[in-house]
């Protein structure tokens, strides 16, 4: 009887650890890695979008650069949802501006991400067409796609201390 309950208790501990492992995913250092990788991806996205805007501001854009950048933006936009696994928000001692709403309203968040991808696809088409006016239009539309998600799902810098 004593042995049975001991085994039972041990099983309980083991399953509790497994459940925590699933929910908390990779542990504190794993979460830090996920958050830092996410922020790096966003910095690349930001640099690439800026490069496109710079080219779009020229009367003769370098279309090889524009096409490579647009391709990259589209690939990043399609990967974006995977940068936000459950449990990679605030509260792990890692600075992140990812608001809890991302996981509380997953369908809304997914909609903003899809919208960005759609705009990135239109941008790539404009890049392939070598049409400067279309490029400017689509680059602006992409920028609005970034801003609208940031307004809703990215915390203001001065709120960082809340992590």
Task: Give contact residues for ligand HEC (rule: CB under 6 A).
Answer: 35, 38-39, 42-43, 45-46, 49, 96-98, 109, 112-113, 116, 142, 145-146, 149-150, 153-154
Q: Supply the minimum distance, in Å, between the C-beta of residue 158 and ligand HEC.
A: 14
Beta carbon of residue 160, minimum distance to ligand HEC (angstroms, whole number)? 9
Rounded to whole angstroms, the Cα distance separating 80 from 37 reads 11
Could you identify the residue written with the tokens 């915390």? Answer: 155
How big is the CA angle at 138 (ends 133 and 143), to the nearest 5 degrees?
Answer: 130
Query: Terminus-to-terminus CA distance in the chain, angstroms?
Result: 47
Nearest distance from residue 59's CB to ligand HEC, in Å?
Answer: 24
Q: Could you tell me if 115 and 78 are in contact, meaning their C-beta atoms sit under 8 angstroms apart?
A: no
Between residues 46 and 106, which has the closer beta carbon with respect to ligand HEC?
46
- Residue whose CB is less far from ligand HEC, 49 or 132: 49
Non-local CB neighbours of 65 within 8 Å, separated by 6+ positions: 51, 55
Q: Can you tell me the distance from the alpha carbon of 61 to that of 25, in angstroms, rounded to the nearest whole number?
A: 45
Q: Which one, 60 or 157, has the nearer CB to ligand HEC? A: 157
- 10 vs 88, which CB is nearer to ligand HEC? 88
* Cα 38 to Cα 96: distance, rounded to the nearest angstrom: 10
**C-beta closer to ligand HEC: residue 61 or 109:** 109
Q: Please report where in the chains the tokens 């696994």 appear, as a residue.
A: 85
Smallest distance, ligand HEC to C-beta of residue 131, A: 20
């Amino acid at each position: 009887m004593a042995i049975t309950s001991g085994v039972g208790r041990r099983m309980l501990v083991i399953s509790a650890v497994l459940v925590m492992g699933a929910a908390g995913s990779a542990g504190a250092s794993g979460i830090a890695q996920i958050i830092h990788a996410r922020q790096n991806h966003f910095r690349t996205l930001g640099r690439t979008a800026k490069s496109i805007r710079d080219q779009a501001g020229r009367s003769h854009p370098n279309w090889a650069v524009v096409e490579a950048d647009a391709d990259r933006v589209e690939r990043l936009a399609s990967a974006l949802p995977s940068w936000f696994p459950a449990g990679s928000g605030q509260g792990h001692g890692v600075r992140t501006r990812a608001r809890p709403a991302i996981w509380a309203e997953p369908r809304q968040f997914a909609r903003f991400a899809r919208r960005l991808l759609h705009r990135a696809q239109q941008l790539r088409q404009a890049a392939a067409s070598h049409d400067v006016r279309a490029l400017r239009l689509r680059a602006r539309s992409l920028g609005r796609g970034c801003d609208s998600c940031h307004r809703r799902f990215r915390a203001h810098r001065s709120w960082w201390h809340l992590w």
